[in-house]
Structure 1
Amino acid sequence: MKQLILHLKTGNTLLEDVPAPQVRRGQVLIQTRKTLVSLGTERMLVEFSRGSLISKARQQPDRVKQVLEKIRTDGLIPTLETVFNKLDQPLPLGYCNVGQVVAVGEGVTDLAIGDRVASNGHHAEVVCVPRNLVARVPDGVSDDEAVFTVIGSIGLQGVRLLNPTLGETVVVVGLGLIGLLTVELLRLNGCRVIGLDVDERKLELARNRGVIALNPAGGTDPVKAVLALTQGVGADGVVITASAKSDELISQAARMSRKRGRIVLVGVIGLNLSRAEFYEKELTFQVSCSYGPGRYDESYEQQGSDYPLPFVRWTQNRNFQTILQLLESGQLNVKPLITEVVPLGNFERIYNTISHSASIASLLSYPEQLNLKPVVQLREGRYEGVSKPVIGLIGAGNFTSAVLLPALKETGVQLKTIASANGLNGTLLAKKYGIALSTTDYREVLTDPDINLVVITTRHQQHARMTREALLAGKHVFVEKPLAIYEDELEQLVEIHQQTEKTVLVGFNRRFSPHAQKMKTLLGGAASGDVPMNIIATMNAGFIPANSWVHDRAVGGGRIPGEACHYVDLITFLTGSRVVAVCMNAMGRQPAETGDSASLLLRYENGSTGVINYFANGSKAYAKERFEVYSQERTLVLDNFRTLKGYGFKGFSDWSTRQDKGHKAQFQRLVEQVRTGGEPLIPFEELVNTTRTLLAALQSLKTRRWVDVAAGIDVTPLTVHAPTV
């Protein structure tokens, strides 16, 4: 199928050939008939992408600060690699879609194949959209009208926040598409509307809707004009739908408002507010968030949890329905706003002139034929699955693009197929790294006889299941950490692994870092498991918002199981022993199971102890990772995998390199191990022990006791002892 994308690095808008998405639980698969180009939002994105690197930096000062902090802690080269990788990622365009349902996912019971629907799907021939972002289109509403549903809801949400009453005077600043729709909705609320814009064509459209339309560029002072039209009282409300970098619009809005007036921002403007302008009138100011309540809420949008109507009357989906009802009744007339309807294949007619386009609403039309093919072949290739590893990748996120694929490329391994949920990221990575096939069906990887090594980098809840499926398909497996997020799925995986000779490697890359290898050598006999040692590991992990999927116990498993596992494995590697008991304490009076500021105490078979401090409340200006080893009156301190210092070692005091967390070495050794055979890089029993340790840590947090890792039971007072020598 075809999909429109924007390259942030180059500014090029392209029509890519990508595999069609697969319908997922709680979602709807839609064949697109029309989409609307949001000239405001998409123009802003295109202009940003076409700017120089310096121009992009100037527009994002907060990001520049983050980059400078990362340079100080991680070094220049790793930071630049991260920045350029971000800029190299494609951006799907569009969020106003109308089409026909061709498949419904499990759990969707109120839509059926053949239904005509509006959604926030992208500019693509087929889209997969969560149920709460889809609304059925009434029979009396045409495709050309229904495609205004989502963008109309943006204006509607701004109006709802303003809460206008019959007879009030409201100023709309900016008469682009959202502004004109906002004007219409305010008129339906019985308001007297004053519109401001510098484009005479837009002003004329507003006047045709009964609006008092003023052009500040023609010499009209907008503040004085509004005060004159309201007999010096000022506007009851101001809705700003314009886009501008200066602070002048917010100042004008304040000065033209009456005492206790309301200002709602729908657009994007400078927001250096004058306290005096707001203080004297006790003005209310609010920013409107997209389509309405539920936007950017993972549980609402992705998991389908609706807000109860008596408590949240107007969610984004109910806003969608409202716009469609107004279109059906004829109260909202959008047909005069349509400037052009362009076939998808001629998209350049719109995007090549988007920076200076005079269009109000440009629509893209789509071909009628349905293409649900889940695989796109990008090049031919011959594969020898026995003599040389042939890799199939499942997952095309940040880790895959920024770390995994660059490391695999250096090994010279054959990459045959990449599977990604939306098809787009996988396709572009396939083009960049010479991968032959891109698919949205990961089973294409498992059933391919050429592929003998499967690499899994999906979200955490899929790791254990996909690893089991790959083993049953006769493949070697590399799976990003964690191996599992629940005990039962781990036990199922252990049972399957006992029935196969295939390799399983989890992405515990830290032990492959040259610094970790150097530490192991320096520790000598102490690292063989014979001599106990004390190790303290600290991760200054950084803040992640509470609504992120990584905090969801059922999806990410929580940050402690998902990331602290790196340190359990590294301590295991250095001590040459395995964990027998764990105790975890987390910050807060009633710490959550998925909290991300915690300390773990580890007891090892050989008497070694480990302390893992995983904190999310530290400064980003401080190094992210620190590792300390105390053994036989000697100390090693590893700082952020860049600098290693030794105290009490003959002939060694310090060693520095560019940051190296071991990813490249890990993949080089994995490829060689699959190619030639031999012992696994990390014994499977150690992978299981590390995973059980983190799951036992969560149990410890609940019971507030030490937990035996193997048995999963409380062992307080601790009865696990080092073996007698």
Structure 2
Amino acid sequence: MKQLIQNLKTGETLLEEVPAPQVRRGQVLIQTHRSLVSLGTERMLVEFGKANLIAKARQQPDKVKQVLEKIQSDGLRPTLEAVFRKLDQPLPLGYCNVGTVLAVGEGITDLQIGDRVASNGPHAELVCVPRNLVAHVPDGVSDDEAVFTVIGAIGLQSIRLLLPTLGETIVVVGLGLIGLLTAELLRLNGCRVIGLDVDEAKLELARQRGLITLDPASITDPVKAVLSITNNVGADGVLITASARTDELVSQAARMSRKRGRIILVGVVGLNLNRTEFYEKELSFQVSCSYGPGRYDEVYEQQGHDYPLPFVRWTENRNFQTILQLIASGQLNVKPLITEVVPFADYHKIYCTIGQANRSGIASVMCYSESVSLNSTVKLYEAKYGPNAGTVGIIGAGNFTAAILLPALKSAGATIKAIASAGGLSATLLARKYGVSESTSDYGQLINDPDIDLCVITTRHNSHARMTVQALRAGKHVFVEKPLAIHNDEVTQIIEAQQLAGRLVMVGFNRRFSPYSQKMKSLLGGDLSGQIPMNIIATMNAGAIPANSWVHDRAVGGGRILGEACHFVDLITFLTGSRVISVCMNAMGTQPSETSDSASLLLRYENGSIGVINYFANGSKAYAKERIEVYSQERTLILDNFSKLTGFGFKNFSSMSGRQDKGHVEQMKRLILQLRSGKVNPTGEQLIPFSELINTTQTTLAALQSLREKRWIDVSRIEFFQEHE
């Protein structure tokens, strides 16, 4: 199927061939009939993409601050690489979609195949959308009308925040698509509406709908004009649906408001508010969030848990339904807003002029062909793969795959046949960039492909164990990003599958492969280090991530101790040459949860070593992220952020420094070399013994148990009858 994307680096808009998405639990697979181009919103994206790097930075000062902080902590080169990677990730365009249901995921009972629905799906022939972002289209509402559902909900949500009453005077600043829809909804609400815009065509359309109109460019002062219309009382409310880089629109809104008036911002404007203007009138100011309550809430949108109607009357989905009901009843007439209807294949007729100053029109609608490819795999390049060639297939195409794993695999000379992602788009973009021959939305095809020897799994944490077991049962070797598992029963399943398959299981514990870690191991005695007890303190200044991130969800991400602190359990295991026998964990707060990301772990090892892991999310981002301290035999090693190693008490070593290297590339080089040698499981040649991978996973799970039960927890020792083939 085809999907429209935009290159953030150049602003170029492209029609990309991508795999058909796979319907998942709680989602709806839709064949698109129509999608709406919001000329204002999408023009901003195109203009941002075409801007040079300096102009991009000026538009996003908050991002510039983050970049400067990252330079302080990680250095200039890694930071610039991260910035350019981000700009190199094309965006899917569009968010107003109408089509027919082709399939419904598990758990959906109120939609049927063949239903006509509106959703916030992108410009694509097929879209897969969570249930709460899909609304049934009533009979009598055409596709051309229903395509206004989502953007109408944006205007409706701003009105719900404004709380207008019958007879009030409301000013709408900006009469683009959202502005005109908002003005019409206000008129239906019994309000007197004043519309401001500099485009005469939009003003004329507004006048035809019974609005009072003002052109700020043709009058001396729009504030005085509004005051005159309201007998010097001022507007009861102002809705800003325009976009501008200055603070003037907010200032004007404040000056034209009555005392205790309300201002709602829908567009994007400067927000340096003048305190005096707001103080003297006791004005209220609020920013409207997209379609309504539920927006950006993973529990509502992705997991499908609705808010109870008696407590949250208007959710984003109920706003969708309201717009459709108004269209069905004839109260909301959207047909005059359609500037043009263009075939999807001719998208360039819209986008080649979307950023031009003389571009006129309100809304462009793209219509789609009735035939569409349902292939879940796209072949991008021709290639042949021999048996046992160490051929790789990657499941997951997120930021970590793009930023770290794929470059590391390519640097290691890996032969990659396919990349899988749930939606197919991200897999296709990465496959095209790195010369990978296939992309797919069905990871099962990758697992069952006889050409593929190694499955690399980089999906969300709750799928790691399941996919690892599936790949092992299919006879594949497995590299899985940490954590290996997030529940104890998953560990048992992985052990059973690995023992039966006799295949390699490798976890992304890359830090032991860093040249700094390797040097530390050598200085501490190499293989003899397992006989020497030592004290190791590992501190990670992890930095805070939003509380609503999936990483903090115990059922999905498992929490950052399981997902990230495991790195340091493995690193201490590597340096001590021993395994953990017991663990005690304490977390910050009076009632810490299992997903706390500010905690300390105390580890006891078989050889008498003691490890301390301080994983903190409440430190400054300007401070280095990682620090390892080793104390052994009156000697000390300090590793600072995997860029500088300092030794104290060593005869022939004082320091080692260079660019930051956490071992990703070296890990992949060794893994690919081992696969191609055909000696994946000979005694003593495992990159990380399977028993250590299990011990590390058990340790982090036991740490959570320790937090719950407030005591030391023993880590069970498991002997494997088939650690080597």
Q: TM-score band (shorter)? A: over 0.9
Q: Residue 723 of structure 1 corresponds to which residue in structure 2? A: none
Deviations 1:233-255 (A, max 9, x none): 10000000000011111011111
2:706 corresponds to 1:700: yes
Q: For the Cα contact (< 8 Å) 1:27–1:130, is it kept in 2?
A: yes
Q: For the Cα contact (< 8 Å) 2:413–2:669, is it kept in 1?
A: no
Q: Secondary structure at the match of 2:69?
A: helix
Deviations 1:482-524 (A, max 9, x none): 0000000111111111112211100000000000000001111
Deviations 1:371-428 (A, max 9, x none): 2110101111111122x21111100011111111111112222111111111111111
- The equivalences for 1:209-608 within 5 A come to 209-356=209-356, 357-386=359-388, 388-524=389-525, 528-608=529-609
Give the counterpart letter for 2:367 in structure 1.
S
Give the counterpart letter for 1:320 in structure 2.
F
What is the CA–CA distance in structure 1 between the aligned matches of 2:293 and 2:411, rounded to whole Å?
47
Q: For the Cα contact (< 8 Å) 2:581–2:717, is it kept in 1?
A: no
Deviations 1:150-200 (A, max 9, x none): 000000000000000000000000000000000000001100000000111
What is the CA–CA distance in structure 1 between the aligned matches of 2:401 and 2:265, rounded to whole Å?
38
What is the CA–CA distance in structure 1 between the aligned matches of 2:87 and 2:124, rounded to whole Å?
22
Q: Secondary structure at the match of 2:639?
A: strand
Q: For the Cα contact (< 8 Å) 2:533–2:609, is it kept in 1?
A: yes
What is the CA–CA distance in structure 1 between the aligned matches of 2:547 and 2:412, rounded to whole Å?
38
What is the CA–CA distance in structure 1 between the aligned matches of 2:220 and 2:554, rounded to whole Å?
58
What is the CA–CA distance in structure 2 between the aligned matches of 1:9 and 1:394, rounded to whole Å?
26
What is the CA–CA distance in structure 2 between the aligned matches of 1:385 and 1:606, rounded to whole Å?
43
Give the counterpart letter for 2:179 in structure 1.
G
Structure 1 runs of 4+ off > 3 angstroms?
Answer: none
Deviations 1:594-641 (A, max 9, x none): 111111010111110111011111110000111100001111000000
What is the CA–CA distance in structure 2 between the aligned matches of 1:575 and 1:431, rounded to whole Å?
43
- The equivalences for 1:25-36 within 5 A come to 25-36=25-36
2:667 corresponds to 1:666: yes
Q: For the Cα contact (< 8 Å) 2:35–2:94, is it kept in 1?
A: yes
Deviations 1:229-276 (A, max 9, x none): 111110000000000011111011111111111100011111111111
What is the CA–CA distance in structure 2 between the aligned matches of 1:594 and 1:255, rounded to whole Å?
48
Gaps of 5+ in 2: 719-725
What is the CA–CA distance in structure 2 between the aligned matches of 1:385 and 1:708, rounded to whole Å?
44
- The equivalences for 1:12-31 within 5 A come to 12-31=12-31
Give the counterpart letter for 1:536 in structure 2.
I
Deviations 1:557-615 (A, max 9, x none): 10110000000000000000000111111111110111111110101111101110111
What is the CA–CA distance in structure 2 between the aligned matches of 1:549 and 1:164, rounded to whole Å?
37
Q: Residue 684 of structure 1 corresponds to which residue in structure 2? A: 690
What is the CA–CA distance in structure 2 between the aligned matches of 1:173 and 1:433, rounded to whole Å?
46
Give the counterpart letter for 2:714 in structure 1.
D
2:95 corresponds to 1:95: yes
- Percent of pairs identical after alignment? 75
Q: CA deviation at 1:75?
A: 1.7
Q: Residue 721 of structure 1 corresponds to which residue in structure 2? A: none
What is the CA–CA distance in structure 1 between the aligned matches of 2:651 and 2:687, rounded to whole Å?
30
Gaps of 5+ in 1: 713-725
What is the CA–CA distance in structure 2 between the aligned matches of 1:110 and 1:685, rounded to whole Å?
48
What is the CA–CA distance in structure 2 between the aligned matches of 1:505 and 1:418, rounded to whole Å?
19
What is the CA–CA distance in structure 2 between the aligned matches of 1:709 and 1:373, rounded to whole Å?
47
Q: CA deviation at 1:526?
A: 8.2
What is the CA–CA distance in structure 1 between the aligned matches of 2:690 and 2:223, rounded to whole Å?
72
Q: For the Cα contact (< 8 Å) 1:392–1:454, is it kept in 2?
A: yes
Q: Secondary structure at the match of 2:608?
A: coil
Give the counterpart letter for 2:511 in structure 1.
R
Give the counterpart letter for 2:462 in structure 1.
Q
Structure 1 stretch 90-99 or stretch 674-683: which is displaced more? 674-683
Q: CA deviation at 1:528?
A: 2.5
Q: For the Cα contact (< 8 Å) 1:527–1:574, is it kept in 2?
A: no
Q: Secondary structure at the match of 1:355?
A: coil
Give the counterpart letter for 1:111 in structure 2.
L
What is the CA–CA distance in structure 2 between the aligned matches of 1:404 and 1:275, rounded to whole Å?
49
TM-score normalised to structure 1 length: 0.97
What is the CA–CA distance in structure 2 between the aligned matches of 1:410 and 1:618, rounded to whole Å?
34
Q: Residue 716 of structure 1 corresponds to which residue in structure 2? A: none
Q: For the Cα contact (< 8 Å) 2:8–2:49, is it kept in 1?
A: yes
What is the CA–CA distance in structure 1 between the aligned matches of 2:193 and 2:10, rounded to whole Å?
41
Q: Residue 138 of structure 1 corresponds to which residue in structure 2? A: 138
What is the CA–CA distance in structure 1 between the aligned matches of 2:485 and 2:505, rounded to whole Å?
13
What is the CA–CA distance in structure 2 between the aligned matches of 1:711 and 1:76, rounded to whole Å?
44
Q: Say if 1:309 and 1:5 are closer, same or farther in 2 by CA, change over 3 A.
A: same
What is the CA–CA distance in structure 2 between the aligned matches of 1:591 and 1:330, rounded to whole Å?
54
What is the CA–CA distance in structure 1 between the aligned matches of 2:473 and 2:362, rounded to whole Å?
56
Q: Secondary structure at the match of 1:322?
A: helix
What is the CA–CA distance in structure 2 between the aligned matches of 1:385 and 1:695, rounded to whole Å?
38
What is the CA–CA distance in structure 1 between the aligned matches of 2:299 and 2:175, rounded to whole Å?
34
Q: Residue 80 of structure 1 corresponds to which residue in structure 2? A: 80
What is the CA–CA distance in structure 1 between the aligned matches of 2:116 and 2:45, rounded to whole Å?
29
Deviations 1:449-482 (A, max 9, x none): 1111111100100100101010110111100000
What is the CA–CA distance in structure 1 between the aligned matches of 2:81 and 2:132, rounded to whole Å?
37
Give the counterpart letter for 2:689 in structure 1.
P
Structure 1 stretch 516-525 or stretch 13-22: which is displaced more? 516-525
Deviations 1:499-556 (A, max 9, x none): 1221110000000000000000111168521111000001111111110000011110
Deviations 1:266-315 (A, max 9, x none): 11111111111111111111100000000000000000010000000000
What is the CA–CA distance in structure 2 between the aligned matches of 1:693 and 1:56, rounded to whole Å?
45
Q: For the Cα contact (< 8 Å) 1:157–1:292, is it kept in 2?
A: yes
Q: CA deviation at 1:673?
A: 1.1
Q: CA deviation at 1:344?
A: 0.6
Q: CA deviation at 1:645?
A: 0.5
Give the counterpart letter for 1:503 in structure 2.
L
Q: For the Cα contact (< 8 Å) 2:636–2:649, is it kept in 1?
A: yes
Q: Secondary structure at the match of 2:267?
A: coil
What is the CA–CA distance in structure 1 between the aligned matches of 2:543 and 2:709, rounded to whole Å?
27
